[in-house]
């Protein structure tokens, strides 16, 4: 008797036929609907979503306030292009984010569509303001899939492949990675060495970094390191750009991850959770810096789409009304406790790290040699999915299991997710042994 083909299987065949292989999927299931912390696939199976659309759903799927705001804007208009006929919702969200950005003094906000656009426009603004060409990024960092975004990204094989030649005047300094033997002092010395041997700091327009590396494996940059980098950039007239695309909007327990350090960047990038799943990104920063490009130098056809801006205002209301920053801090404590207990049980969990609820496990073959275990990480993802838990990998070696559960998750949902993760680790790591 022939087996009945599932809808997931049928759609996967369609995907294989019509979608290029370069568009990879972490999980071979197709979403049918989502609500809060849960996703249902086309075959009706329910999952706890600890991936959040790659850190996009900090307020959860289908939040009623967000849906209400989008529906109301939908009835008015969906697009007129801000550069043609501006609209109020863009201004109101820009005002709110300017006030939320770290530091004193006047600030301005530019809206775009994707995180990569935010990165590229920050570089444009920095070059316009400083008159300098060069940009410094960190190894292991991720800044997008466009030409300049790939050039800035510090991971070659997966993201850069054979897509070069890449953008010129981009340089990489080492990222602190204490678990793998790169101390903060060594990383800072590497930055100084870069300035001595590869690019004169007086030619550098900006240094861009993620306060907590996202795709790079949830490596938090310490306050001491960030403060040292800030002093160095100020000494040379270099703009500091904080890429908060994944770490922003409460993901680390503060609205922006950079706030944990007390460092004030010149420009700050946001995207992902700003509009609860609608395409929106942007740059916010010092007004004098943001005003450097002449009229016509910034913009985009869909940049600051009115539906997305309406969603963004609703997201900020949710943060305020539901106390999401306080909830994020509690969530971070629960997740940290849960992951540390798993580390005590499974020696292949080499390190638990992160900041607030932006936490991860790095899997290794053994805790002494610390050889990365990407195969085990993949087995964990598959075993977790079978148990109804959606997770993602990260890290230079593909051996980091990251947690991006919505900040609105309830206590029981978090505990159930941790139980499912424990079962997945037991299955995957026992198999390895």
What are the start-end ranges of the H helices in 77-146?
88-100, 115-130
CA distances in angstroms from 150 to 10, 31, 157, 178, listed in the order given = 34, 29, 11, 25
Answer yes or no: are the C-beta atoms of 275 and 309 closer than 8 Å.
yes
* Residue 330, burial from CB neighbour count under 10 angstroms (0-12, 13-18, 19+): middle
Residues of the chain where predicted confidence (pLDDT) is lower than 50? 1-2, 433
| pLDDT score recorded for residue 159 | 84
Q: Where are the alpha helices (DSSP H) in 131-183?
A: 147-152, 156-159
Task: Name all domains of the chain by residue range, CATH numbers in brackets.
Answer: 7-62+323-432 (3.90.1150.10), 65-321 (3.40.640.10)
- CA 162 from centroid of its chain's CA atoms: 24
pLDDT, averaged across the chain: 96
Q: What is the pTM of this model?
A: 0.96
Q: Residue 143 contacts by C-beta under 8 Å, 6 or more apart in sequence?
A: 115, 116, 119, 137, 149, 152, 153, 208, 243
Q: Which two tokens stand for residue 298?
A: 């910034």
Is omega for the bond preceding 152 within 30 degrees of 0, making it cis?
no
Task: Give, as one character, the DSSP assignment of residue 214.
Answer: T
pLDDT, residue 52, reads 97
pLDDT of the residue at 156: 73
> According to the model, what pLDDT value does residue 101 have?
98
Question: At a CB cut-off of 8 Å and minimum separation 6, what does 186 contact?
Answer: 174, 176
Quote the tokens at residue 364: 């290794």
How many CB atoms lie under 10 A from the CB of residue 18?
Answer: 7
- Quick one: pLDDT at residue 433? 47
Q: What was the pLDDT predicted at 2?
A: 46
């Amino acid at each position: 008797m022939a087996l009945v083909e599932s809808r997931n299987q049928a759609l996967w065949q369609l995907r294989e036929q019509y979608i290029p292989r370069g568009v990879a999927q972490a999980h071979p299931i197709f979403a049918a609907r989502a609500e809060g912390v849960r996703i249902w696939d086309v075959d009706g199976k329910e999952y706890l979503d600890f991936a959040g659309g790659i850190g996009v759903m900090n307020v959860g799927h289908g939040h009623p306030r967000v849906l209400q705001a989008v529906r109301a804007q939908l009835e008015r208009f969906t697009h007129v292009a801000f550069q043609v006929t501006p609209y109020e919702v863009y201004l109101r969200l820009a005002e709110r984010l300017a006030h939320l950005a770290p530091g004193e003094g006047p600030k301005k906000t530019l809206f775009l569509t994707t995180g990569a656009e935010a990165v590229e426009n920050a570089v444009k603004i920095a070059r316009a303001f400083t008159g300098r060409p060069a940009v410094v990024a960190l190894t292991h960092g991720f800044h997008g899939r466009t030409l300049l975004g790939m050039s800035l990204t510090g991971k070659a094989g997966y993201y850069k492949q054979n897509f070069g030649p890449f953008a010129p005047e981009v340089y990489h300094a080492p990222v602190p990675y204490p678990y793998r033997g790169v101390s903060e002092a060594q990383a800072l010395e590497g930055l100084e060495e870069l300035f001595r041997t590869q690019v004169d700091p007086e030619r550098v327009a900006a240094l861009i970094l993620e306060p907590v590396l996202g795709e790079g494996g949830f490596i938090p940059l310490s306050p001491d390191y960030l403060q040292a980098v800030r002093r160095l950039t100020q000494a040379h007239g270099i703009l500091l750009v904080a890429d908060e695309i994944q770490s922003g909007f409460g993901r680390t327990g503060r609205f922006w991850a950079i706030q944990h350090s007390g460092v004030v960047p010149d420009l700050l990038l946001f995207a992902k959770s700003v509009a609860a799943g609608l395409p929106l990104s942007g740059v916010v920063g010092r007004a004098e810096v943001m005003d450097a490009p002449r009229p016509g130098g910034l913009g985009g056809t869909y940049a600051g789409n009115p539906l997305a801006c309406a969603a963004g205002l609703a997201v900020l209301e949710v943060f305020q009304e539901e106390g999401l920053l306080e909830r994020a801090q509690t969530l971070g404590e629960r997740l940290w406790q849960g992951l540390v207990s798993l580390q005590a049980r499974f020696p292949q969990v080499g390190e638990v790290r992160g900041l607030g609820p932006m936490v991860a496990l790095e899997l290794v073959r053994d805790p002494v040699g610390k050889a990365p275990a990407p195969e085990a990480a993949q087995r964990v993802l598959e075993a977790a999915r079978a148990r109804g838990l959606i997770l993602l990998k990260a890290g230079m070696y593909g051996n980091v299991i990251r947690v991006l559960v919505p900040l609105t998750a309830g206590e029981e949902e978090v505990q159930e997710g941790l139980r499912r993760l424990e079962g997945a680790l037991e299955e995957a790591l026992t198999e390895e042994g």
